[in-house]
Chains A and B, each alone.
Chain A
Amino acid sequence: MKKSHAWPGAGVTAVALSSLLVACGGGEDGPQAVEIQFAAVAAEQPIACNSTVRLGRDNVEATLKDLRFYISNAALLRADGSEVPITLAGNDNWNLTVGQDRVTLIDLENATGACPSATGTAATQAVLKGRVPAGSYTGVRMTLGVPFALNHSLWSDPASAKPPLDIQAMSWSWQGGRKFAKIEVTQPAGASPAWSAPTFNFHLGSTGCQGNPVTGTQVSHCNAPNRMDFTLPAFDPATQQVGVDLRALLAAADITVNAGGALGCMSGGTDPECQLLFDAIGVDWKADGSGTGLPVNGGAGQVLFRAISK
């Protein structure tokens, strides 16, 4: 299994670039802007709604159908490993800050090609923008997911269904929350042989959620939170971006069939395809339903996100 996903020469580059970051900042203590770019790739190859790439255990041709996910509580890392939260610029269609909770929707589909116009959006968002105190930073840490306090919003309560938590396609109504990630690949037009299940989905969200009928609290607890933490210890936003590597995510999965449960893996507690995918995102999942839904070793084993050159 692929354990390391740092790019060649990462250590050296990070040191050099962190001084560059300082130079870009304002005053000594004033805030400096941070822009973290995301890019969909299959290994080194960029992918978009219109492109066909080779994916899955058998390296078959596949087309992107959807690629959206929520990033929360992003932070830059200092050389000593300490975290400095990235303050989001402000609430808009892609960003929401409530108290300490900060969430951004990253949307790498544009509702064209194999990405359905009905459920997709033409608008895209490939960047997380914010500010940090001026300083020297070496890496990033973030969570794929929506913080619990914001996750179980109520569409009928405008106070809670604020953008970007109002995208219908990202609703996870059966568990009273949001899909943290909606990643779907499909067979290319005219694929031969045709896939036995035409689309392979990876929908990540909390499961085992329970509401409280007495208080009317939508969800008070979820057995498996399924939020994915990841750290890119050597990352420079000026020259690098966060690669969302679907080849790595799907490397062990036969994406042309559905082995059971939902098509692909929709975070079902016993869906046979979920083991491979949860391994790839570094979240504890077990076939007997006893997985905790918590990051394993801080998400150190995840292969979905890695630093790549801009």
Chain B
Amino acid sequence: MTSAPGCLPPGSGWTGRLRWLTVASLLAGLTACGGGGRSELEAVPQAADRWSWVLPSGFSIPKEPETNPMSAAKVELGRHLFYDRRLSGNGSQSCASCHLQHKAFTDGLALAQGSTGQFHRRGAQPLANVAYNATLTWANPSLVTLEKQMEVPLFGDDPVEMGVNDSNQAQVLARIAGDPAYPDRFALAFPGQSDSVSWAHVIQSIAAFQRSLISGNSRYDQYTRGQAQLSASEERGLRLFFGNKAECFHCHGSFNFNDQVVHASSRFVETPFHNTGLYNLGDRGDFPALNQGLFEFTAQATDRGLFRAQTLRNIEVTAPYMHDGSLATLEEVVDFYAAGGRQISSGPLAGDGRKHPNKSDQIAPIDLDAQEKADLVAFLKTLTDHEFLVNPKFADPFSPP
């Protein structure tokens, strides 16, 4: 077997040194050049505290919407709102109820459950580095900003997540405005705006907080910076991952270990979706009802079962896996890809996913022995950024440790 790396991750810097990038000045330039078309918003004064991106080596500057530039005050307000249960219709759930920091902002469940008890058809998304996602959620080409995406959990009714609706939205906002701790935070984050406690500002500040969730200090990152060693097994796993045998890098090869990335300097962004052979109901090409991925948007048969490749950063703590949590462990995931898809032999989901007509060309049987599978899993576990999972900047402000 050959294990020569076929493709190394951009900026992986095998012998690279620590290079933290502070880009406040660049950012200021960017926002000032904002390119016309929104003159009515240019007059809006922003928080005095400029935001300084502090980024790991190899990370590009995240894209900020012209209408929602980052500021420290906004991020801090957003952190409070993210963890505030009062933001759901019945006051039972916050964003953090399904996005737990110690699980890289997933919830450990196969399917997420909303504030009224209704189950989602898919699992909660990890949020590390979500600022770089070109499209949001598991398969939705129409959601390209966190601000727009947030309308789904806040206001969606199929399924109900946060459960904010026409009859309670004023009341929910009043709960926030009525907490004496909040008006000052809003005023700081949105200076000079009379109606500062608004849904627009709730959404904008939570989006800013989400953009601040940068994770790039895993042992793998430290290794690429020459600061840490990987074990022999982990290094073998790394070479399999980026090599021509396992070829994981085709869909998980960016600095963020996925293949849909947008950043401040992006001129063109690809938004590929993939069928990995997870299902093939009755060998008819179906995925389970209402969970057919990109197909639900395009209605094209060739899009049946296509989903967005998820980031593999912190993948160790985001089980269970796949959009519907149908693979419980990383070992199962590696077995799944080694088999070139999944055959389900009985029951309502029976069918041979390996033979799905839309299956990605990249998904083919891989001849991996037990040691190689263990090596891949060992490598995947080096992508856990333990600092990120406990970073107080991202933690619940209402229950300090």
| Contacts between chains A and B (CB distance < 8 A), count | 135
In the complex, the answer to whether A210 meets B142 with C-beta atoms within 8 Å is yes
Contacts of B319 in A (CB 8 A): none
Is A79 an interface residue, CB under 8 A from the partner? no
Is B11 an interface residue, CB under 8 A from the partner? no
Is B156 an interface residue, CB under 8 A from the partner? yes
Residues 53-92 of chain A, each 1 if its beta carbon lies under 8 Å from chain B, else 0 = 0000000000000000000000000000000000000000
Contacts of A121 in B (CB 8 A): 166-167
Contacts of B65 in A (CB 8 A): 216
Q: A154-B147, A156-B147, A216-B63 are in contact. Are A120 and B262 (CB under 8 A)?
A: no
* Stretch of A5-13, A96-104, A170-178 that contacts chain B: A170-178
Is B299 an interface residue, CB under 8 A from the partner? yes
In the complex, the answer to whether A169 meets B165 with C-beta atoms within 8 Å is yes
In the complex, the answer to whether A173 meets B67 with C-beta atoms within 8 Å is no
Residues 208-228 of chain A, each 1 if its beta carbon lies under 8 Å from chain B, else 0 = 111111101111000110000
Can you list 6 residue pairs at the A/B interface with Cβ under 8 Å? A157-B67, A157-B200, A174-B142, A176-B148, A209-B141, A216-B65
Is A198 an interface residue, CB under 8 A from the partner? no
In the complex, the answer to whether A119 meets B134 with C-beta atoms within 8 Å is no
In the complex, the answer to whether B164 meets A168 with C-beta atoms within 8 Å is yes
In the complex, the answer to whether B166 meets A169 with C-beta atoms within 8 Å is yes
A200-254: which have CB < 8 Å to B? 207-214, 216-219, 223-224
Q: Which of B150, B156, B271, B296 has the most CB of A within 10 A?
A: B296
CA distance A171 to B155 in the complex (A): 8
Return the chain B residue nearest A260 by Cβ: B289
Q: A211-B135, A288-B301 are in contact. Are A120 and B142 (CB under 8 A)?
A: no
In the complex, the answer to whether B155 meets A289 with C-beta atoms within 8 Å is no
In the complex, the answer to whether B198 meets A289 with C-beta atoms within 8 Å is no
Is A270 an interface residue, CB under 8 A from the partner? yes
Is B25 an interface residue, CB under 8 A from the partner? no
Q: Which of B142, B155, B268 has the most CB of A within 10 A?
A: B142
Contacts of A159 in B (CB 8 A): 40-41
In the complex, the answer to whether A213 meets B144 with C-beta atoms within 8 Å is yes
Select one of B63, B144, B204 contacting A217, CB under 8 A: B144
In the complex, the answer to whether B290 meets A261 with C-beta atoms within 8 Å is yes
Select one of A120, A175, A216, A270 contacting B144, CB under 8 A: A216
Chain B nearest CB: distance from A270 CB in Å? 5
Interface residues of B (CB under 8 A from A): 40-41, 63, 65-68, 134-135, 140-145, 147-148, 150-152, 155-158, 164-169, 198-200, 203-204, 207, 260, 262, 266-269, 271, 289-290, 295-301
In the complex, the answer to whether B269 meets A213 with C-beta atoms within 8 Å is yes
Is A262 an interface residue, CB under 8 A from the partner? yes
In the complex, the answer to whether B165 meets A119 with C-beta atoms within 8 Å is yes
Please count how many residues in chain A sit with their CB below 8 Å of the partner chain's CB atoms: 43
In the complex, the answer to whether A173 meets B151 with C-beta atoms within 8 Å is yes
Q: Which of B63, B141, B157 has the most CB of A within 10 A?
A: B141
In the complex, the answer to whether B150 meets A156 with C-beta atoms within 8 Å is yes
Contacts of B268 in A (CB 8 A): 214
Select one of B41, B63, B165, B200 contacting A156, CB under 8 A: B200
In the complex, the answer to whether B150 meets A120 with C-beta atoms within 8 Å is no
In the complex, the answer to whether A175 meets B165 with C-beta atoms within 8 Å is no
The 7 A-B pairs with the shortest beta carbon distances in the complex, nearest first, are A269-B299, A289-B299, A211-B144, A213-B134, A156-B203, A176-B142, A209-B142
Contacts of A161 in B (CB 8 A): 200
Chain A nearest CB: distance from B74 CB in Å? 12
CA distance A120 to B66 in the complex (A): 34
Contacts of B141 in A (CB 8 A): 209-211
Select one of B40, B157, B164, B298 contacting A269, CB under 8 A: B298
Chain A nearest CB: distance from B153 CB in Å? 9
Chain A nearest CB: distance from B68 CB in Å? 7
CA distance A265 to B157 in the complex (A): 15
In the complex, the answer to whether B296 meets A168 with C-beta atoms within 8 Å is no
In the complex, the answer to whether B198 meets A158 with C-beta atoms within 8 Å is yes
- Other A-B pairs beyond A111-B167, A208-B297, A208-B298, 9, CB < 8 Å: A121-B166, A154-B147, A156-B147, A156-B200, A209-B141, A212-B144, A223-B298, A223-B299, A269-B296
CA distance A176 to B151 in the complex (A): 9
Return the chain A residue nearest B193 by Cβ: A158
In the complex, the answer to whether B166 meets A156 with C-beta atoms within 8 Å is no
In the complex, the answer to whether A118 meets B168 with C-beta atoms within 8 Å is yes
Is A297 an interface residue, CB under 8 A from the partner? no
In the complex, the answer to whether A158 meets B200 with C-beta atoms within 8 Å is yes
Is A268 an interface residue, CB under 8 A from the partner? yes
Chain B nearest CB: distance from A126 CB in Å? 18
Return the chain A residue nearest B199 by Cβ: A155
Q: A154-B148, A168-B165, A211-B142 are in contact. Are A289 and B300 (CB under 8 A)?
A: yes
CA distance A260 to B167 in the complex (A): 30
In the complex, the answer to whether A117 meets B301 with C-beta atoms within 8 Å is no
Contacts of A208 in B (CB 8 A): 297-299
Chain A nearest CB: distance from B238 CB in Å? 29
Is A167 an interface residue, CB under 8 A from the partner? yes
Chain A nearest CB: distance from B70 CB in Å? 14
Select one of A174, A212, A260, A289 contacting B140, CB under 8 A: A174
CA distance A45 to B33 in the complex (A): 60
Chain B nearest CB: distance from A59 CB in Å? 28
Chain A nearest CB: distance from B81 CB in Å? 13
Contacts of A212 in B (CB 8 A): 144
Return the chain B residue nearest A122 by Cβ: B167
CA distance A173 to B66 in the complex (A): 21
